[in-house]
Amino acid sequence: MNRAHGWAEGIARLFLAGIFIERSVLLLLHPEIQMEKMVTAGIPLVPVFFVTALTLLLLGSTGLLLGYRARAASFWLLIYLAIDSLFIRMPLGSSVMTEFFLRLALLGALILVMLHGPGYLSFDAQRMVPVRRKR
């Protein structure tokens, strides 16, 4: 892999993490809006699920941004996004299909990070030590 691929992967991770960081900031600044949507969606134990969602967002977006345990971070963000999309944002009968397909694209991007790893410019890549084989 050449350095251009490493930079491109780092920038892609930055853009992808930016979406979730922005969401985390909104949840921190206006928790009542998200909690109201959760109540409207009929989710029980709203404070517990809110704190869980915020934790997933903060840890997942930070891990994805830095490339630290990026595969696990992508998995947790994927879980958050799937639950948020299916139960809170996109109730059955909604006519907002563009937002739904954008969320599917995000799920696809997270799956790609899970499968291929964070790339060259990441903490995960810097921790990997090549294994020397005996001949």
Place of tokens 């109540």: 39
When divided into structural domains, the chain yields a total of: 1
19 in any annotated domain: yes
Provide the CA 109 distance to its chain's centre, in angstroms: 9
Residue 46's CB is within 10 A of a number of other CB atoms, namely 15
99 in any annotated domain: yes
State whether the Cα torsion 65-70-71-75 is positive or negative. negative
Q: How far apart are CA 125 and CA 5, in angstroms?
A: 13
132 in any annotated domain: no
85 in any annotated domain: yes
41 in any annotated domain: yes
**pLDDT of amino acid 93:** 58
111 in any annotated domain: yes
Q: Are 83 and 36 spatial neighbours (Cβ–Cβ below 8 Å)? A: no
110 in any annotated domain: yes
**What burial class does residue 24 get, using C-beta atoms within 10 Å of its C-beta: 0-12 exposed, 13-18 middle, 19+ buried?**
buried
- Residue 121 CB contacts under 8 Å (≥ 6 apart), including other chains: 6, 7, 9, 10, 67
pLDDT in tens, the chain (135 residues): 566 677 788 888 889 999 999 999 999 999 998 899 888 888 889 999 999 989 999 999 999 998 888 899 999 999 988 888 877 766 555 566 777 778 888 888 898 888 887 877 787 777 664 545 565
Domain that holds residue 32: 3-127
- Residue 24 CB contacts under 8 Å (≥ 6 apart), including other chains: 54, 57, 58, 61
Longest CA pairwise span in the chain (Å): 65
135 in any annotated domain: no
